[in-house]
Amino acid sequence: MSRINEAGPDELNVYSAAFQSDGRGQGEHHWDSEVGKNILMSFLLKKPPVNIPAQFGLSQIIAVAAHNYVSSELPDEEVTIKWPNDIMVGTRKIAGILIENSLKGHEILASVIGIGVNVNQIHFTGDLHSAVSLQMIDGQRRDIDTEIRKLTEQFVSSLEIFRALGAEKMYWSYDGRLFGIGTEQNFKLGEDILKCRILGTEPTGQIRLRMPDGVERKFYHHEIAMCYRDDLLL
């Protein structure tokens, strides 16, 4: 892994890798990446502009940045954020994000934000039935270093907007890009598959759903999962 940019000792370091031997995403999901074909990078953000109760704001910042990057590359496609922080093109996943925070008391000392974006890979294995890449959609082969810099610029821009305009602006930007908002989608809750209407998210990171019985409920991402089909999880 190599450092490609440094914004200052108290701010942001950016690292990239050509290959991950055991990429992982949320829960038990894995990230399948061929050598040199995709964006595999991490942001080390010191003193992030969120506290522990509002740490979902960091997920919103990077998810909006990744969404804007993919949208700029695929302007004719429907690009959305699948809660909590996957990037979708239609119903297929093109990017995933994983955040780990270093905590001290009620303070976040630093955050490591890992992100993978499928760029030039055209074959995916295992359970990645819904994966897609930029090249699969538009046929263009891209220079990975160039794409990393584009994504970094989007992240810095998203971070600056959060700092200048506050969490509420980022909250609405995130929910406005949310996959399936206002529609009914299948969710796996325990052993049951339920059709629930997506109402939005909470600053805590919970998703708000209208359940089949009409009751509104909130869930964290480890409590419920969205389904691609009745038997397959996104």
Q: pTM for the whole thing?
A: 0.88
Helix, strand, or coil (residue 177): coil
Instruction: Let me know: does 218 contact 232? Beta carbons within 8 Å.
Output: no
Last residue of a domain, one of 156, 175, 194: 175
Same-domain check for residues 198 and 216: yes
Distances (CA, A) of 79 to 72, 95, 180: 10, 11, 11
Shared-domain flag, residues 154 and 92: yes
Instruction: Report the CATH number that the domain containing residue 188 is assigned in CATH.
Output: 2.30.30.140
Query: Which pLDDT does position 129 carry in this prediction?
Result: 61
Residue 229, pLDDT score:
54
Nearest to 193 by CA among 153, 162, 163, 232: 232
Residues 87 and 150 in one domain: yes
Q: What pLDDT does residue 3 have?
A: 44
- For residues 111 and 188, state if they share a domain: no
Same domain? 48 vs 157: yes
Query: Is residue 155 located within the same domain as residue 226?
Result: no
Residue 57 CA: distances (Å) to CA of 84, 99, 134, 169, 185: 11, 11, 27, 11, 24
Q: Are residues 155 and 212 in the same domain?
A: no
Would strands 107-117 and 225-229 be described as parallel, antiparallel, or unpaired?
A: unpaired
167 and 129 co-located in one domain: yes
Geometric angle at alpha carbon 147, from 146 and 152, rounded to 5°: 100
- 56 and 134 in a common domain: yes
pLDDT per residue as tens, the chain (234 positions): 444 344 444 478 999 987 554 545 454 455 567 889 999 999 999 989 998 889 999 999 999 999 999 999 999 999 999 999 999 999 999 999 999 999 988 889 999 999 999 999 999 876 556 899 999 999 999 999 999 999 999 999 999 999 999 999 999 999 999 999 999 999 999 999 999 999 999 999 999 999 999 999 999 999 999 986 544 555
Q: Which CATH number is 11's domain given?
A: 3.30.930.10
Structural domain ending residue among the three candidates 175, 208, 224:
175
Residues 136 and 222 in one domain: no
| Rounded Cα gap, residues 62 and 77, in angstroms | 20
Counting the structural domains of the chain, the total is 2
- Structural domain range at position 154: 2-175
Q: Which of 136, 152, 175 is the last residue of a domain?
A: 175
Instruction: Assess whether 138 and 81 both reside in one domain.
Output: yes
Same domain, residue pair 144 and 198: no
Q: What integer pLDDT is reported at residue 128 of this predicted model?
A: 56
